[in-house]
A and B are shown apart, each in its own frame.
Chain A
Amino acid sequence: MLRPFEIHEPATVAEASRLLARLGEQAAVYAGGTELLLLMKEGLAHFPHLVNIKTIGGLDAIAFEDGVLRLGAVATHREIETSPAARQHAPLVARVASQVGNLRVRAAGTIGGNLCFAEPHSDPAAVLVAWDATLVLARAGGERCVPAAGFFLGMLQTAREPDEILTAVEVRPLPPGTGAAYHRFALHERPTAAVAAVVTVRDGAVAAARVVVGSVGPVPVRVPEAEDALAGRRPEGEVLRAAAEVAGRRADVLEDMFTSTEYKRHLVSLLAARALHDAVSAARTAH
């Protein structure tokens, strides 16, 4: 049952930050609410104060400027999915937005809320870690940038300070010869297992690879052993298979009530093989 709360509607990031600093643990940032309100309805969390950052002007903008695609933190998944700029400069980021939850969640839920909530099954989180996106955090005194890979500290835990607001996600177009792919397997609305891969192929060999496993552990993480298995090799048959197998074996897998860790490792290997195959194919056609 949703208990009563007070909602604050700041007009600027600085104002929101000051409110958060003042209210401390009594307050939560409220954007789409698709995760937060569920938690509050289930009685798993209670915040007497919610700070609605959708009232801050410009925080929902999606724009490509100076070679960077900037996704405003309160842009909804639906807005990203349908954004011509996102589709052109980071098609996988747009596509993964279309896979989040369900249509109602995508219409209300925001990219910033999704990342800051740090639910372990986040689709965008896995992709943005693989993509090496940058998260912009702001407070009254200024702002800082954090790479996506350094943002997720644990289940429902991030590097965001209590008085900081995530204002934007910055995504650079992939370099030439680079392809990206994301594969997921979902029994419920949230994936059971997911793998994102970004691979650069130069002169027929893997010049760089980022393999990120999502949904099975507390946070999306790179699997260096799988990346090493690709480095410098021709991305074909046995090489990809071996890397995928390593990803399943080395992934940080948590147990849950629905599936065994054994099955999850199997899924990770399978999804890694699919993601690597697609990323390599895309890399070969990306100039």
Chain B
Amino acid sequence: MTAGRRDSGEGKGGAAAPVDVVGTPVSRVDALDKVTGAAKYTGDLIVPGMLYGKVLRSPFPHARIICVDASAAERIPGVRAVLTGRDLADLDPYYGHAVRDRPVVAIDRVRFAGEPVAAVAADDEHTAHAALAAIQVEYQELPAVTDLTMALNDGAPRVHEEALRPGFLHSGEFRREEGNICYHYRIARGDAARAMAAADVVVEGDYTFPAVYQYAMEPHTVVAQWSADGLTVWACCQHPYLVRAELAGIFRLPQSAVRVIVPYVGGGFGSKSYTRMEPLTAALARKAGRPIRIANRVDEAMLTTRRHNMRCWLRTGVARDGRVVARECRIWLDTGAYADNGPRVALAAGDAAPGPYRWQAVAVDAWAVYTHMPPAGSYRAFGATHLQWIGESQIDVLAHRLGIDPVECRRRNLLRPGEEVRPGRKPLEADLAADVSKVAAAVGWGTPKPPLVGRGVSIGVMGAGANPASTAAVRMQADGTLVLLASTTEIGQGARTVLAQIAAQELALPLERIRVAGADTHVTPYDRSTGASRSTTVAGLAVQRAAADVREQLLDIASRVWGLPRVALRLHEGAVWHETESRSYADLIATHFGIAGGELIGRGEVAPGRGDGQAAGPVFWEISCGGAEVELDPSTGRIRVRRLASVADVGKAINPQLVEVQDEGACLQGLGNAFFEEMLFDGGQLINGSLLEYRVPTMADLPDEFHSILVGNGVGPGPYGAMGVGEGALAAVPGAIVNALLDLGLQMRDLPLTPERVWRRLREVE
């Protein structure tokens, strides 16, 4: 998909913008609205006649529902409706983009503690909340499998007895096995057993990764309203078009009868990818005959989706000269009661297991496993965050054992630009050896270290961009301002700013004359999703093409008006110029339409059908490269991060400041995953479901030095050679820290690295 650069090159002969807005750290277009509180989020909306919904959740991880009696709750003044599994009879009540296994509300059984069993609609939240206690549910408790070991045992209770129905996003590789296996992904290249036997040095180990919570500051919030035309949903979702498709499937509606509108989104990090509280809210609104709002609390958000906890066995073999030979890996991911994005997470974890190295042979098995636990799905850099620290720590163990410097060991083995990363997929764009050298230098690699200070690096690549499928439109209004229509959601990442910069660049328009509309499936054109670091690269390319389309129309009009060839014209500051003479865009539009009105419409798309990469992706390989210098307090086991460095290999930074803050945010979440974060359960019950007890990093946890290094080689498939960032650092940080501890002789095989865990490991070593 190199068409983006060709496109931007095309215009340059006649219409190069003399002032570059691309590549500059302009302020966010939504900054003022956000700091003044003018920006509207889903929870700010009041739809006339709106009721408030509250959800009754299962107290048991596994139980048959004998009876739900809501009659007492329905009699409470102010209660307008109670939704239960019985209300779904005329629907297709199971949803899931990967596997259609999750009911809108529990039907005949509950499969995790916290599963919605009923929902109340009332005039206000207090009434709805109070009414929950009046709903009588009779359960028959059933044996539950509340961890991976229990779920994988012979004869374990089955979380899903029935055949699984693939969801609409599943592309022909659905591999279900017996028992509680939801999905199995396998990589087999070469004869790994034989290659391993021939390796000079081999290391192996068992590792664990905990369940963690994405912690978007805004929990899931949805407003749903039915009308004669169909269903309208306002939601803080990442992928409006995928939510639309899923709602249409559940409610047996044509997709065009479902409208999904996305106001500003208060962070997502994957927790708002795919479909969350929308079906339940829409079903309750249907029953009540009134618009409904449901807003999750933090504990409810944690039970709605989370990151997979994982168990992993990994073995690596190398030759005496440090060349990597073979890697074998087995990965078990706890996807909870419903598949959610588990299959894709298993795939990403499996893809991350080999790391970006030149192996003779690789054998990877990754299983997504059903348990009676809350469902697990996407979280920034999924799969890569699970595996990179493990593979990278074995590289360091082997390097130490062979007496080779870990950075040098990587240089000898890293894939080079143009090399194949995975068979049949697109070759590598970035220069990994250069990236790893940059982070190593930033954490003082090779310089003397004080006692109890260790250093480590970590590098990986992850398939990013999801699928190359986006569309965009721009409307050049009669007054020469531009309305930009795209369905990438503004989730805090700065999409509206970056897309505006791209359009401004293509049309030589001042940024303040561009308005970016919020996503609305009735208005803004199709986009696959907001995630996988794809907005700038893929949606940005569609916007670039849409803006270029209008630029061509303006040049055509001006060329006719002046009777001049297009090469004699250029665009500058909202006008077309011929030498010292200019006509504003508004002027040209008025001339074209013959009245003081009209507008020009540009369209752009990214599609495999027009040569934009492979339908299956990845659109590009996102780089995950970090370095850390840590200091250990052996008396408590506490680790202080002295220096943290990350490379954001971005191809071209459209807005360098936004790239940096994305990268820094991902680093901070990486610190959270490495040091603090863990959802704790007791018999399937979440026991730390509040931010008092679930510890996320704060400003006080920032490293002493923090380096975000932007690399822009212009090699990406996006506009101006851009490629996505924002996830990679999260996957890189835990590995860099684990390797820095290894530098101090401490091998850690379980996250998070709590002081107690490190202290215990220290005592074992002593």
Binding site for B on A (CB under 8 A): 1, 3-4, 38, 42, 102, 185, 187-189, 257-260, 263, 266-267, 270
How far, in Å, is B126 (CB) from chain A's closest CB?
6
Once the chains are docked, how many angstroms separate the CA of A107 from the CA of B193? 63
Q: Are B759 and A266 in contact (CB under 8 A)?
A: yes
Q: Are A187 and B754 in contact (CB under 8 A)?
A: yes
Nearest CB in chain B to that of A188: its residue: B695
How far, in Å, is B679 (CB) from chain A's closest CB?
11
Taking CB atoms and an 8 Å cut-off, the chain B residues in 696-718 that contact chain A are 698
Once the chains are docked, how many angstroms separate the CA of A264 from the CA of B635? 12
Q: Are B692 and A185 in contact (CB under 8 A)?
A: no
Q: Are B125 and A263 in contact (CB under 8 A)?
A: no
Residues of A with C-beta under 8 A to B614:
none
Residues of B with C-beta under 8 A to A258:
754
Nearest CB in chain A to that of B637: its residue: A263
Residues of A with C-beta under 8 A to B297:
1
The answer to whether residues A1 and B126 also contact, given A42-B690, A257-B693, A263-B759 and a CB cut-off of 8 A, is yes
B687 contacts the other chain (Cβ, under 8 Å)? yes
Nearest CB in chain B to that of A263: its residue: B756
How far, in Å, is B689 (CB) from chain A's closest CB?
10
Cβ-defined partner of A259 (8 Å) among B126, B676, B756 = B756
Q: Are B693 and A188 in contact (CB under 8 A)?
A: yes
How far, in Å, is B122 (CB) from chain A's closest CB?
13
| Interface majority SS (helix, strand, loop, mixed), chain A | loop
Once the chains are docked, how many angstroms separate the CA of A3 from the CA of B129? 10
Q: Are B759 and A257 in contact (CB under 8 A)?
A: no
Once the chains are docked, how many angstroms separate the CA of A259 from the CA of B676? 12
How far, in Å, is B238 (CB) from chain A's closest CB?
26
Q: Which of B680, B695, B755, B756 gathers the greatest number of chain A CB atoms within 10 Å?
A: B756
Q: Are A185 and B695 in contact (CB under 8 A)?
A: no
Residues of A with C-beta under 8 A to B136:
none
B360 contacts the other chain (Cβ, under 8 Å)? no
B688 contacts the other chain (Cβ, under 8 Å)? yes
**Beyond A185-B638, A187-B676, A258-B754, 13 additional pairs, beta carbon < 8 A:** A1-B125, A1-B126, A1-B297, A4-B126, A38-B692, A185-B636, A187-B755, A188-B693, A257-B680, A259-B754, A260-B756, A263-B756, A263-B759
Nearest CB in chain A to that of B695: its residue: A188
Residues of B with C-beta under 8 A to A257:
680, 687-688, 693
Residues of B with C-beta under 8 A to A259:
754, 756
Once the chains are docked, how many angstroms separate the CA of A172 from the CA of B716? 69
Residues of A with C-beta under 8 A to B698:
102
How far, in Å, is A38 (CB) from chain B's closest CB?
7
Q: Are B759 and A1 in contact (CB under 8 A)?
A: no
Once the chains are docked, how many angstroms separate the CA of A236 from the CA of B444? 40
Q: Are B690 and A270 in contact (CB under 8 A)?
A: no
Cβ-defined partner of B636 (8 Å) among A42, A188, A267 = A267
How far, in Å, is B691 (CB) from chain A's closest CB?
10
Q: What would be 25 A-B contacts, judged by CB atoms less than 8 Å apart?
A: A1-B129, A1-B297, A4-B126, A38-B692, A42-B690, A102-B698, A185-B636, A185-B638, A187-B676, A187-B695, A187-B754, A188-B692, A188-B693, A188-B695, A257-B687, A257-B688, A257-B693, A259-B754, A263-B756, A263-B759, A263-B760, A266-B759, A267-B636, A270-B635, A270-B636
Q: Mark B630-672, 1 if CB is under 8 A from A, else 0.
A: 0000011010000000000000000000000000000000000
Nearest CB in chain B to that of A266: its residue: B759
Once the chains are docked, how many angstroms separate the CA of A1 from the CA of B128? 11
How far, in Å, is B300 (CB) from chain A's closest CB?
11
Residues of A with C-beta under 8 A to B687:
257
Taking CB atoms and an 8 Å cut-off, the chain B residues in 738-766 that contact chain A are 754-756, 759-760
- In the complex, number of A-B residue pairs with CB atoms less than 8 Å apart: 34
CB-based closest 9 A-B pairs: A263-B756, A257-B680, A259-B756, A270-B635, A188-B695, A1-B129, A257-B687, A3-B126, A1-B125
Nearest CB in chain A to that of B759: its residue: A263
How far, in Å, is A104 (CB) from chain B's closest CB?
12
Q: Which of B636, B693, B760 gathers the greatest number of chain A CB atoms within 10 Å?
A: B636
How far, in Å, is B221 (CB) from chain A's closest CB?
14
Residues of B with C-beta under 8 A to A266:
759
Nearest CB in chain A to that of B698: its residue: A102
How far, in Å, is A256 (CB) from chain B's closest CB?
9
Residues of B with C-beta under 8 A to A260:
756
Once the chains are docked, how many angstroms separate the CA of A257 from the CA of B688? 8
How far, in Å, is B53 (CB) from chain A's closest CB?
13
Residues of B with C-beta under 8 A to A189:
692
Once the chains are docked, how many angstroms separate the CA of A69 from the CA of B636? 36
Once the chains are docked, how many angstroms separate the CA of A102 from the CA of B635? 25
Once the chains are docked, how many angstroms separate the CA of A1 from the CA of B126? 8
How far, in Å, is B298 (CB) from chain A's closest CB?
10
Nearest CB in chain A to that of B297: its residue: A1
Once the chains are docked, how many angstroms separate the CA of A231 from the CA of B638? 33
How far, in Å, is B693 (CB) from chain A's closest CB?
7
Residues of A with C-beta under 8 A to B636:
185, 267, 270
Residues of B with C-beta under 8 A to A188:
692-693, 695
Once the chains are docked, how many angstroms separate the CA of A102 from the CA of B756? 24
Once the chains are docked, how many angstroms separate the CA of A260 from the CA of B688? 16
Residues of A with C-beta under 8 A to B759:
263, 266
Once the chains are docked, how many angstroms separate the CA of A130 from the CA of B695? 30
Residues of B with C-beta under 8 A to A270:
635-636
How far, in Å, is A269 (CB) from chain B's closest CB?
10
How far, in Å, is B438 (CB) from chain A's closest CB?
33
Residues of A with C-beta under 8 A to B755:
187
How far, in Å, is A229 (CB) from chain B's closest CB?
21
Once the chains are docked, how many angstroms separate the CA of A263 from the CA of B698? 24
How far, in Å, is A18 (CB) from chain B's closest CB?
30
Residues of A with C-beta under 8 A to B690:
42
Residues of B with C-beta under 8 A to A42:
690
Nearest CB in chain B to that of A273: its residue: B635
Once the chains are docked, how many angstroms separate the CA of A4 from the CA of B125? 11
Once the chains are docked, how many angstroms separate the CA of A42 from the CA of B129? 13
Nearest CB in chain B to that of A259: its residue: B756
How far, in Å, is B633 (CB) from chain A's closest CB?
10
Once the chains are docked, how many angstroms separate the CA of A263 from the CA of B757? 10
Once the chains are docked, how many angstroms separate the CA of A259 from the CA of B756? 7
Nearest CB in chain A to that of B756: its residue: A263
Residues of A with C-beta under 8 A to B126:
1, 3-4
Residues of A with C-beta under 8 A to B638:
185
Taking CB atoms and an 8 Å cut-off, the chain B residues in 677-691 that contact chain A are 680, 687-688, 690
Once the chains are docked, how many angstroms separate the CA of A188 from the CA of B754? 11
Once the chains are docked, how many angstroms separate the CA of A266 from the CA of B698? 26
How far, in Å, is B740 (CB) from chain A's closest CB?
20
Residues of B with C-beta under 8 A to A102:
698
How far, in Å, is A270 (CB) from chain B's closest CB?
5
How far, in Å, is B525 (CB) from chain A's closest CB?
39
Once the chains are docked, how many angstroms separate the CA of A47 from the CA of B677? 33
How far, in Å, is A265 (CB) from chain B's closest CB?
12
Nearest CB in chain B to that of A4: its residue: B126
Once the chains are docked, how many angstroms separate the CA of A42 from the CA of B676? 23
Nearest CB in chain A to that of B694: its residue: A188
Taking CB atoms and an 8 Å cut-off, the chain B residues in 287-309 that contact chain A are 297
Residues of B with C-beta under 8 A to A1:
125-126, 129, 297
Residues of B with C-beta under 8 A to A187:
676, 695, 754-755
Once the chains are docked, how many angstroms separate the CA of A267 from the CA of B698? 23
Once the chains are docked, how many angstroms separate the CA of A144 from the CA of B676? 45
Once the chains are docked, how many angstroms separate the CA of A45 from the CA of B638? 35
Nearest CB in chain B to that of A190: its residue: B692
Once the chains are docked, how many angstroms separate the CA of A258 from the CA of B754? 9
Once the chains are docked, how many angstroms separate the CA of A259 from the CA of B635? 15
Once the chains are docked, how many angstroms separate the CA of A22 from the CA of B108? 50
Once the chains are docked, how many angstroms separate the CA of A1 from the CA of B680? 23
Taking CB atoms and an 8 Å cut-off, the chain B residues in 97-138 that contact chain A are 125-126, 129
Nearest CB in chain B to that of A185: its residue: B636
Residues of A with C-beta under 8 A to B756:
259-260, 263
Once the chains are docked, how many angstroms separate the CA of A263 from the CA of B754? 12
